[in-house]
């Protein structure tokens, strides 16, 4: 079974984070919510407090198949500033492991040089931070081991793309049907 880690920083966009967690768990993909705050309690950008599964420092990421970054402000800024996450993202990139980011969070990958030569998308107005990427105007863009998405309104499509990445199109369609969702991508 695939194992995914999603990183929650204060100010993350709740829908972008929790939709991924919900849909991946429905698909049977193990996903661990990791707090970057030093506490399991993380306050989202709309003042909704979530309880993470683990603290960043408690996790050995060697078993991870993918790292996921939700957007939101100042969540994205807090992701960029986290030194441990910085090193982990660079390590995953060097190893060719899977990364996914939505809304403003693809800028975290862009500012670290991870999107060079890749097709990508992000929340409008942040495209200049996708350094070296080719912008593709789509709800979700998958380029090899990297998945990016536009924003909160694309959170379901983003989550289904992650499911498809690990389990194939039929599994993503099954989850989509089970939640009575019609894709916009």
Low-confidence ranges of the chain (pLDDT < 50): none
- Cα Rg of the chain (Å, integer): 15
Which tokens in the block code for residue 170? 């039929």
Residues annotated as catalytic are 103
Check residue 184 and give its pLDDT.
55
C-alpha of 87 from chain center: 17
- Annotated domain spans of the chain: 3-103+152-178
* Residue where the block lists tokens 């661990």: 32
Q: What is the pLDDT of residue 120?
A: 98
Topology of the domain comprising 3-103+152-178? Rossmann fold (3.40.50)
């Amino acid at each position: 079974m695939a194992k995914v880690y999603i990183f929650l920083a204060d100010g993350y966009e709740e829908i972008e984070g929790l939709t991924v967690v919900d849909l991946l768990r429905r698909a049977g993909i193990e996903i661990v919510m990791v707090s970057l705050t030093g506490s399991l309690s993380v306050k989202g950008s709309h003042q909704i407090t979530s309880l993470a599964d683990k603290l960043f420092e408690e996790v050995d990421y060697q078993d991870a198949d993918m790292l996921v970054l939700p957007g939101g402000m100042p969540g994205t800024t807090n992701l960029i500033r986290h030194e441990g996450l910085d090193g982990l993202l660079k390590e995953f990139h060097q190893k060719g492991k899977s990364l996914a980011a939505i809304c403003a969070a693809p800028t975290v990958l862009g500012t670290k040089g991870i999107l060079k030569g890749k097709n990508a998308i992000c929340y409008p107005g942040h495209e200049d931070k996708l350094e070296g990427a080719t912008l593709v105007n789509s709800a979700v863009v998958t380029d090899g081991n990297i998945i990016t998405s536009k924003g909160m309104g694309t959170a379901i499509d983003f989550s289904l793309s992650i499911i498809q990445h690990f389990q194939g199109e039929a599994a993503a369609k099954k989850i989509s049907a089970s939640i009575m969702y019609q894709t916009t991508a």
